[in-house]
Chain A
């Protein structure tokens, strides 16, 4: 399958390791991965901050960049949800292509849960709000993680609670955001995990920033990086 990677502006700029893990993983599963270099951003930040005109311009551009591929796959549940839920409203008639979040693509389209990964660490999984309540990916990431060899997967208490990121919410309502993240971090620490995993690096950046500030033991790792890791080539 010829898969177009929509890496997202945040991963492209700040978390390129997640993009490289996507390439490694999808190639290992026997697919051709392309990176349309005209891609930039889905417009979520502008949309959710109230800058509709800028968001519309990005939504209109999106189908032009990704036309002609068998599938568009992204390591961000939140950006996938913006494209799927909002692009048809922002740019009606533009022909928004189907975009899949990684775990949806693996489980629903490729019909695999065991991707041959190896990750010998204690991991806990945070289901991000948009993955859970916009994309409704349910337990797909957990099914993928359970099939990883060597992993010690532990439940996160109050997992479905928001971490308090919310894009510009973290700046506009910094006090409430920090209070929410303090509770999330306390739950992560209770698990004793070495790594906190999620399907979105923006939420992980928020939780990880608080973990680091507190000198906590857990680090953050994107789902794609665990699934790309193997015994021969550990991440």
Chain B
């Protein structure tokens, strides 16, 4: 980033629970108008970092300013300019769709005709105008997420914080959320999202940080991270009895890196190599030849072991 237009500046943030560092020396500069992703396995410290941004978790050390307000000292003023889509739905089950937005607006001290206009706009934005008076428990999972997104926009925030915005949604619902988030970015809002869907991060984020064990392992644009950390070409070979050892018999280019996860062998290569495909066809193996993705970077950096 050439121009420093940071809306969030975090320096050396730390937080421990029971002696264990869950946020370990995190530095972040998030620029106005960008979509920034926090990626990491479960328990990596993503949600804790977001809670710090809101003043809901107090950092042990480090400094944090949001829109020029020091956090947690002036968190209230910062929160007035932030919208939040939490990981777990906390829509008010006692209210209808519109009442949820109206009640949430009141927490910002907003009421009256301006709020009603805003609610109408937001329900159109969230494609929920036909559900205005519906009780919350009649909404599908996708509708609830969209309503939560609309609710986060009630105060016309400059920054939108989204904690796993599409977890548990079907592909259609996910596409719709993505489209809305792109629209919001075009309106100039700063988006900060956590996800463990690499496809989501690659599509939406201008920049992202990969976090593991509370530390930022690397950060940059998705393309830059792929270039920096992984060979551009990947062949995945799968099927019963596929063994990394048996493939590495000389038909692979010398520079190829081979990894095996369960029944799948990943061959990472710096160049496309027709010999590899020919070999797979000859051996009658199922394979997929593709470009490297963020997922490859993520797995390389955070390891392939199952978490939790």
Q: Do A and B bind each other?
A: no
